[in-house]
Amino acid sequence: MANGIILLADDDAAIRMVLNQALTRTGYEVRPTGNISTMWNWVSRGEGDLLITDVAMPDGNAFDVLPRIKKLRPDLPIIVMSAQNTFMTAIRASEVGAYEYLPKPFDLGELTSAVARALADARNAGREPPQRPVETETMPLVGRSPAMQDVYRVLARLMQSDLTVMITGESGTGKELVAKALHQFGKRQNGPFVAINMAAIPRELIEAELFGHEKGAFTGANARTSGRFEEAEGGTLFLDEIGDMPMEAQTRLLRVIQEGEYTMVGGRAAIKTNVRIVAATHRDLTQLIRQGLFREDLYYRLNVVPLRLPPLRERLDDLGDLIAHFLARTETENEAQKTISPEAIREMQAHSWPGNVRELENLIRRLAALYSDDVISAAIIDHELNSTGTGSHGSGQGRTRGADTSIAGAVNSAVGAEIQASEPHLPPAGLYQRLMDEFELPLLTMTLDLCGGNQIKAAEVLGLNRNTVRKKIRHHGIEIVKRSRGGV
């Protein structure tokens, strides 16, 4: 086999130069093929030790031949570059077993280091075969901004793995969507995807929900009931809002992850489990660890691959794509084909989007339902973003680009999330208490932390009766960490 790198790229001059420099004295040379048919000829003759390919080529799409190449020469590492930069490009690259996927523009240093790694690893061939034929599916994740490229890159690497992933990001940034995409395009796609939201289940029932319970395990446990671990066997278990998991359940979960088996509530027999865990939270877990509300050891077990989803205000370039995506969806509901004016998009770029993509999605739906105009104008956007509340509040104050840290903003997105989650029905009863719980927990823990765990002092600061504070501490299962602190 010739010692040559086959290079296939439209704009290959710069890349060729940089690679040739990097490969001086290695015995490798760079050979441009210029189009798909030449590439195929060379590769099928057994030439080349590494293939670097663009996706869109003058004579076609490289993804049309890559599966054939992978079949013919499974050990030939392939590096895919692309200017298309969509989620599906990253996924397809991972499906054809690409060694690396580089969305353009990339740093040439990144390419040379990927090449060096690929050549070094070339002997460890026998990577996983593609899981399924390439399909043209509707894209689950929209956005081509640099911030989303980083996300796609991590996702593409994770697709063929079983690693535990911790997705963080503000409310409405797409954490659940990403968790589903990880499952849907990963190697467990034929298994079940089971989601459990720690914030939506009464704390005392979480363990039974996760692990199931035996008949008679507690009052009302009339029959043996399977838990989410059992349901997710062979698939993915999505632990949503993991930051809201009570301590005892955390301890139990940690043990399950360590030992690969669990027992049902009220049961004795150890049950083996085979699930991929994906966790998500909008909270700062390191802060919860400091407050004694989250186990550090569990955090490290879950945070094997951290994946941070950027807030919408960090990827305003994606507004256009996202709006088009959501408008296209509303079109099927009402006939009118709506568009949006460039000024209106600019108006939207000045908004801070505390509720992120969910807020945008709700806004587009509302616009489609409320306005009969074919073109959504800047005036409409201005009116919608500055009068009724989708997170923007007051007159213009919410339009700064910084994070919206106001309570009203948080309440807006929390209520929005509830509405979204229960659609087309109304949210389940108890909305007030659920929100109050969410509000109270950080308020109490932070005040207690501030007062070194002194409940009397905390009650004073809060302006509440001591007994009330005690009751609330019990209700939330807050663990008090006593600590002396200056002046307390």
Ligand X SMILES: Nc1ncnc2c1ncn2[C@@H]1O[C@H](COP(=O)(O)OP(=O)(O)OP(=O)(O)O)[C@@H](O)[C@H]1O
20, 29 contact by CB (below 8 A)? yes
Closest residue to Mg ion, judged by C-beta, is: 176
Helix, strand or coil for residue 170?
Answer: coil
Q: What residue is closest to ligand X based on CB?
A: 174
* 64 and 55 Cβ atoms separated by less than 8 Å: no
Nearest distance, CB of residue 121 and ligand X, angstroms: 32
Instruction: Report if residue 313 touches ligand X, rule: CB under 6 A.
Output: no
Task: Kindly state whether residue 175 participates in binding ligand X, applying the rule CB under 6 A.
Answer: yes
Q: Can you tell me which of 53, 86, 145, 173 binds ligand X, judged by CB under 6 A? A: 173
Instruction: Tell which one of 2, 23, 83, 177 touches ligand X (CB under 6 A).
Output: 177
Residue of 172, 186, 398, 453 interacting with ligand X (CB under 6 A):
172
The count of chain residues that interact with ligand X, using the rule CB under 6 A, is 17
The rounded distance, in Å, linking the Cα atoms of 273 and 230 is 7
Find tokens 């950080």 and name the residue: 442
Cβ distance to Mg ion smaller for residue 36 or 155: 155
Our CB check for ligand X shows the closer of 78 and 242 to be 242
| Nearby residues of 454 by Cβ (< 8 Å), 6 or more positions away | 448, 482, 488
Query: Around 12, how many Cα atoms within 13 Å sit in the side-chain half-sphere?
Result: 19
261 forms beta bridges with 272
Q: What is the number of alpha carbons within 13 Å of residue 231 lying toward its C-beta?
A: 15
The site map against ligand X for 114-153 (x = CB under 6 A) is: ---------------------------xxx----------
358 lies in the site for ligand X, by CB under 6 A: yes
Tell me which of ligand X, Mg ion, none is bound by residue 417, counting a contact when its beta carbon lies within the kind-specific cut-off of 5 to 8 angstroms: ligand X
d(CA 121, CA 97): 14
Q: Which is nearer to ligand X, 169 or 246 (CB)?
A: 169
User: Which of 174, 212, 235, 311 touches ligand X (CB under 6 A)?
Assistant: 174
Of the pair 176, 440, the CB lying nearest Mg ion is at 176
Question: Which of these, 331, 332, 312, lies nearest to 322 by C-alpha position?
Answer: 312
Q: Tell me if residue 272 falls in helix, strand or coil.
A: strand
Region near ligand X per CB under 6 A, out of 27-35, 169-177, 206-214, 391-399: 169-177
Residue count (the chain): 488
List residues near Mg ion by CB under 5 A: 175-176
Centroid of chain to Cα 459: 38
| Choice between 178 and 323, CB closer to Mg ion | 178
* Interacting residue with ligand X among 12, 49, 150, 176 (CB under 6 A): 176
- Picked from Mg ion, ligand X, none, the partner binding residue 142 (CB below 5 to 8 A depending on kind) is ligand X
360 vs 354: CA distance, rounded Å: 10
Q: Closest CB to Mg ion among 92 and 358?
A: 358
Q: How far apart are CA 314 and CA 321, in angstroms?
A: 15
Q: In the bound complex, what is the minimum distance in angstroms from residue 275's beta carbon to ligand X?
A: 20
Q: Write the interaction track for ligand X spanning residues 19-58; mark x where CB under 6 A is met and - where it is not.
A: ----------------------------------------
With contact defined as beta carbons under 8 Å apart, do 344 and 376 qualify? yes
Query: In whole angstroms, what is the distance from residue 467 CA to residue 459 CA?
Result: 9
357 binds, among Mg ion, ligand X, none (CB under 5 to 8 A by kind): ligand X
- Going by DSSP bridges, is the β-strand pair 193-197/236-240 parallel, antiparallel, or unpaired? parallel
Shorter beta-carbon distance to ligand X: residue 14 or 200 = 200
Confirm or reject binding of residue 199 to ligand X (CB under 6 A): no
What burial letters (b/e) apply to 172-189, b meaning 16+ CB within 10 Å? bbbbbebbbbbbebbebe
Cα-Cα-Cα-Cα dihedral sign, residues 381, 382, 388, 393: positive
Q: Residue 76: what are its φ and ψ, rounded to 5°?
A: -75, 115
Question: Would you say 358 or 472 has its CB closer to ligand X?
Answer: 358
Report yes or no: 229 and 262 within 8 Å, Cβ to Cβ: yes
Rounded least distance, CB 168 to Mg ion, Å: 11
Question: Does the protein bind ligand X through residue 312 (CB under 6 A)?
Answer: no
Contact 282, 241 (CB under 8 A): yes
Question: Closer CB to ligand X, residue 19 or residue 357?
Answer: 357
| Of residues 282 and 301, the one with the C-beta less far from ligand X | 282
Give the span between the Cα atoms of 476 and 460, in whole angstroms. 19
What are phi and psi for residue 340, nearest 5 degrees?
-130, 140
Residue 479 binding: pick among ligand X, Mg ion, none (C-beta 5-8 Å cut-off by kind): none
Interface of this chain with ligand X, residues 272 to 301, rule: CB under 6 A:
282
Question: Contact residues for ligand X (CB under 6 A)?
Answer: 141-143, 169, 171-177, 282, 325, 357-358, 361, 417
